[in-house]
Structure 1
Amino acid sequence: MNKEAAEAYWKENISLILKLLVVWFAVSYGCGIIFIDELNAITFGGFKLGFWFAQQGAIYVFLVLIFVYAKKMEAIEEKYDIHE
């Protein structure tokens, strides 16, 4: 792999990571702390939605983000021909 392709690969990788971190932050901090009063007006499975996001929802979103990252990185690695 030449230097330009390697730099482009890492630029895409870092960009993807930053986007996923923004989503994770928005869900864990935003839904669990900032918007908790608004979300608590809604119930989900017998619990207030703000409480659910703070306790369980952020974890589920994080797990989904792991799978999204793996799938997107697979496509990026194939694009730059460094896949297994």
Structure 2
Amino acid sequence: MAFKNDDDKSAYWRENLALLAKLLVVWFVVSFGAGILFVEQLNTIQFFGFKLGFWFAQQGSIYVFVALIFVYMAKMNAMDKKYGVDEE
């Protein structure tokens, strides 16, 4: 990666870490919150014939994790283009 200057480099990594923090918070809320902390409240809701808390604990958090990977990929590609360090 060749940044134009140190300010761009600092801004890029600051933006990257902010994105990572946001995505990790979403992952934590879905996996730990929905799958463990709020499972009793969510189990009162049916989702495709399953209790919602059970579904999040077994499958939902995995689906969200995979979706977060694609979100991260798309956001990082846009950020790379913004700072001029994308692969051509």
Alignment of 1:1-84 (within 5 A): 1=3, 2-84=5-87
**Number of equivalenced pairs:** 84
Distance 2:67 2:20 in 1: 14
**Identity percentage of aligned residues:** 61
Report the residue type matching 1:55 in the other structure.
Q
- Give the TM-score taking structure 1 as reference length: 0.97
**Paired residue secondary structure (1:78):** helix
Distance 2:71 2:52 in 1: 24
- Give the TM-score taking structure 2 as reference length: 0.93
Segments of structure 1 that go 5 or more residues without pairing to the other structure are none
**Paired residue secondary structure (1:83):** coil
The CA RMSD over aligned residues, in Å, is 0.6
Query: How far is the alpha carbon of 1:63 from its aligned partner?
Result: 0.5
Query: How far is the alpha carbon of 1:81 from its aligned partner?
Result: 0.3
- Alpha-carbon deviations, 1:26-81, whole Å to 9, x = none? 00011001110110001112211000000000000001100000000011100000
Runs (4 or more) in structure 1 with deviation over 6 Å come to none
Segments of structure 2 that go 5 or more residues without pairing to the other structure are none
